[in-house]
Structure 1
Amino acid sequence: MKKHIPNAITLLNLLSGLIALVYAFDDNLQMAFFWVCLGIFFDFWDGFAARVLKVASPLGVQLDSLADMVTSGVVPGVVMYQMLAHIQQNNTAYMVTNDTFYMKLVPFIGFVITLGACMRLAKFNIDVRQTNSFIGLPTPANALFILSIPLILNTTISDFVFNFFSNPYVLVVISFLSAFIMNAELPLFSLKTKNKNLSDNKLIFLFLGICALLLLFFRFEAIPLIIVFYIILSVILNKTKKVSI
């Protein structure tokens, strides 16, 4: 029975992604964010369960990627589509008529994120370099970045932040940039603990501590900051060779 436990957790990730999709299509992006977060939670624990129970298998690896494709690939693409499709209705600065090029084609650019996630997950399954670290931004981190944008727009009190993330040109750039950075040859450190020794995991705990402080002070606006900080810190560590990636 225990060999099925990790796969069952992975299927909960997939179920969470499917529910998030329903909310995303219904334009309830806050609930979509919640269910994606829950799916990412299951995504973390399925691998942990497989390692603890010593039941890791090729089936689990493939199942994990298929679930991630929905939760961290399809959902952020739909969310970006929704934001681009509705931005002309909610922001008079970018108001256009329904028969324009914008309404016909531009919102579909959001699915570039889904295509990038698909490529990223396929590469991950065959890349032996990514056993203990990552090459390119993981799809769950990218999904959190994308799905945090509508929450920021609903909660921010900063005119600059609101105008920045409600600009369709910025959203298009973010879509292409996220697809690129998921597949870039960019070594990033893993958040998986190496062992029970605190000194061997001090980087992870330091990073998580800083993330907690950012979330405490900036709430949803902290999520893009955390993702950018994660990338920059990985680049610095890689350049200075203070950590083996």
Structure 2
Amino acid sequence: MDEQTPPARARIQLRGLRGLPLRFVVPNVVTLLALCAGLTAIKLAADKHFETAVLAIVVAAVLDGIDGRIARALKGSSRFGAELDSLADFIDFGVAPGLVLYFWSLHELGTLGWVAVLFFAIAAALRLARFNVMIDDPDRPAWMAKFFTGMPAPAGAIVVLLPLYLHLVFNLTVSTGLIVLEAVYVLGVALLMASRIPHYSGKSLGRVPREEFIFVLFVAAAALVLLAFFPMQMLIVLSLLYMSMIPASVRAYNTFAAQDAKAREASVPPA
């Protein structure tokens, strides 16, 4: 008999489940939790709970930042996990922020507001696809790991919500003119994500020097406390700070590129 009986197939499946190490499961569970947070943000925005929706996207960004580190620490990285992470990132940082802004104010512009949301989601998808391709490039110089090409999707999701942070903190009147500016701003962030403008990569940070450990720990703790008690105000500061770092990222990238070009020229033997 060629085909296996149902009990035989069930035994094979159970053996496969028993043989799956927990270190492969944990990072994917964190990724799924991030996906749940992103989808919940859409639901909260549809119910007009915009501040809570913002916090849900922040939670998704935090979980996205730790799932890869957990996978590397547990040696549980897998192709399945990488694909799942990309799909979750598209929902969390490409779809959810755009819909939050659409439910808040962009719907007032009709088709124009929806087009801005579509462009943002498309830019996030292209950004994630390009990242997956570039990370597997064997010819990529080691120094390029210090930079992202284009604004990362999680950063784009946090930065694009800046108009909403400002409204929640300062109770700004949402006029048609401001909504048009918001749509232009969303398109600008989308262009930064799809562009090849380099951004600093937090993944490139090394170990903290022993003499600076206490200071770094204090700053991190203070930032977390401020984010917990003044979330919208801190998100405004972080968004503006991140965007102000883009010129410095470009200068640093160009410096590394020039040094790399000189090193390549020096390594070429004269004709």
TM-score (norm 1): 0.77
How many Å separate the matches in 2 of 1:12 and 1:31?
16
Change (3 A) 1:64 1:20: same
CA 1:134–1:32: 2 relative to 1, 3 Å = same
Q: Distance in 2 between matches of 1:219 and 1:47?
A: 25
Larger Rg: 2
Deviates more, 1:64-73 or 1:105-114: 105-114
Seq. identity, %: 28
Letter in 1 for 2:76: V
Paired residue for 2:130, among 106, 119, 123? Answer: 123
CA contact (8 A) 1:187 1:235 kept: yes
> In the TM superposition, what is the alpha-carbon distance from 1:80 to its structure 2 partner?
2.5
Task: Write the deviation string for residues 53-89 of structure 1: whole angstroms up to 9, x where unpaired.
Answer: 1121111111111111111111111122222224xxx
Specify the code of the residue in structure 2 equivalent to 1:122. A
Segments of structure 1 that go 5 or more residues without pairing to the other structure are: 87-101
RMSD over equivalenced CA pairs, Å: 3.4
- After superposing on structure 2, the runs of 4+ consecutive aligned residues of structure 1 that deviate more than 4 Å are 129-132, 162-166, 242-245
Matched residue, 1:107? 113
Q: Please, which of 159, 162, 173 is the counterpart of residue 184 of structure 2?
A: 173
**Equivalent residues in 2 for 1:1-245 (5 A)?**
1-82=22-103, 83-86=105-108, 102-103=109-110, 105-109=111-115, 110-128=117-135, 129=140, 133-156=147-170, 167-198=178-209, 212=223, 219-241=234-256
- Give unmatched runs, 5+ long, in structure 2: 1-21, 261-271
How much does 1:197 deviate?
Answer: 4.8
Could you tell me whether the CA contact under 8 Å between 2:145 and 2:201 is conserved in 1? no
Q: 1:8 to 1:243 in 2, by over 3 A?
A: farther
Shift of 1:223: 3.3
Scaled by the length of structure 2, the TM-score of the pair is 0.70
> How far off is 1:131 after superposition?
5.2
Cα deviation code 1:75-121 (max 9, x no counterpart): 111122222224xxxxxxxxxxxxxxx43x12212221111111111
